[in-house]
């Protein structure tokens, strides 16, 4: 596609529920990143995929968070037992390769609200 697509754009869920957030990167981009942006803050790194593998998941806050990219394209961020503190905008970005910082393209994000 022309850009990075994230769905849904908004998600409201109840505390304790499970949610999945989807990211469709730009076609051909091998590197994919997830960031979390809390209100009034800059994005914070969560996880980096190179192809199908998670090359760096050091930013995942705890074991309730998990992400996959089984075919090296679409990625899903999964959050179990959601808490109110998980409310944030979850941003996905992709680039042609891991070293292609100038070609970094962000999606518009998924706004997650846990009530």
Partner 1 sequence: GENVEQHPSTLSVQEGDSAVIKCTYSDSASNYFPWYKQELGKGPQLIIDIRSNVGEKKDQRIAVTLNKTAKHFSLHITETQPEDSAVYFCAASKRGGTSYGKLTFGQGTILTVHP
Task: Identify which range of 20-28, 64-72, 77-85, 92-100 contacts partner 1 by CB under 8 A.
Answer: 92-100
21 binds partner 1 (CB under 8 A): no
Angle at 49 between CA 70 and CA 106, to 5 degrees: 110
Q: Which of 1, 28, 40, 70 binds partner 1 (CB under 8 A)?
A: 40
Q: Which of 1, 28, 42, 70 binds partner 1 (CB under 8 A)?
A: 42
Which of 14, 39 has the CB closer to partner 1? 39
- 3-class secondary structure for the chain? CCCCEEECCEEEECCCCCEEEEEECCCCCCEEEEEEECCCCCCEEEEEEECCEEEECCCCCCCCEEEECCCCCCEEEEECCCCHHHCEEEEEEEECCCCCCCCCEECCCEEEEEC
25 binds partner 1 (CB under 8 A): no
50 binds partner 1 (CB under 8 A): yes
Positions that interact with partner 1 (CB under 8 A): 4, 31, 33, 35, 40-45, 48, 50, 55-56, 91, 93, 95, 98-102, 104, 106-109
């Amino acid at each position: 596609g022309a850009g990075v697509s994230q769905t849904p754009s908004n998600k409201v869920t109840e505390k304790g529920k499970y949610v999945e957030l989807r990211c469709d990167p730009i076609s051909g981009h091998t590197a994919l990143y997830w960031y979390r942006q809390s209100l009034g803050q800059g994005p914070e790194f969560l996880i980096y995929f190179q192809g199908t593998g998670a090359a760096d998941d050091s930013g995942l806050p705890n074991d309730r968070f998990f992400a996959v990219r089984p075919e090296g394209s679409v990625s899903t961020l999964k959050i179990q037992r959601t808490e109110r503190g998980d409310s944030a905008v979850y941003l996905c970005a992709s680039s042609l390769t891991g070293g292609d910082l100038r070609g970094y393209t962000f999606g518009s994000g998924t706004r997650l609200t846990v009530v």
